[in-house]
Amino acid sequence: MKNALGSVDSVLLLGGRSEIGLAIVERLVRDGARRVVLAARGEAEEAAVRLKNLGAEVCLLDFDAARPETHGEVIDSAVEFAGDLDVVVAAFGVLGDQASYEADPVSAARSMAVNLGGHVSAGLFAARRLREQGHGALVVFSSVAGVRVRRANFVYGAAKAGLDGFAQGLGDALHGSGARVMVVRPGFVVGRMTEGMPPAPMATTPGAVADATVRGLRDGSETVWVPGKLRPIFTLMRALPRSVWRRMPR
């Protein structure tokens, strides 16, 4: 439950090493969150130490997005440690490379299993818990790449398009339960995931995405665009005829 001051008290980060996810959690802890669960595939001790130094109790759990049969146990373990979950941040995924996916379709299917299938499983398990407790927010990271899928990264974009639709449908399913889904649609984020890639126009940072996400949680937003000026731009892009879209720079 939220504390007496109305701040988030407990947070579960699915993708406990995510640069954006950890930036969000750190901001929530600075605002008063005191119980944090980092669910990650691999080591997350360094992040846990940072959060403990900010005053949080931290639990580390193993989480593999590609193993949906384990996701229910992860949510149960998080609840055992934290009690009610005020915020669940689903910030896991892989970017990959379009040329590599086309050369190795099996790797493309595996990335889709993480970027879409993993979110479906984890999201449904998390939503079930939020519905049962009657409150809480699930933060799902979509992308502008899924708003209008481009030839240059259509495997990744297709996964994000599917995820965006899933998250909106899940939010509709939770309506009236006290729980909610917030979809975050960042543009190009300069960080570890995109290291070595030339930044796209209106590129943003993990910190800026985190700031916008926390504001969205406070405001009760359903959708957050980062930066906000991408919203009208992609509204226009969705309306472009396909013949024009195909000629757009990659």
156: left (phi over 0), alpha (psi -120 to 50) or beta: alpha
Q: Is 156 a residue of the active site?
A: yes
Which residues, including other chains, have CB under 8 Å from residue 86's CB and lie 6 or more apart?
Answer: 1, 2, 8, 9, 10, 11, 33, 135, 136, 137
Which position among 63, 141, 156, 225 bears the catalytic label? Answer: 156
Determine contact, residues 90/126, Cβ cutoff 8 Å: yes
What are the residue numbers of the active site? Answer: 156
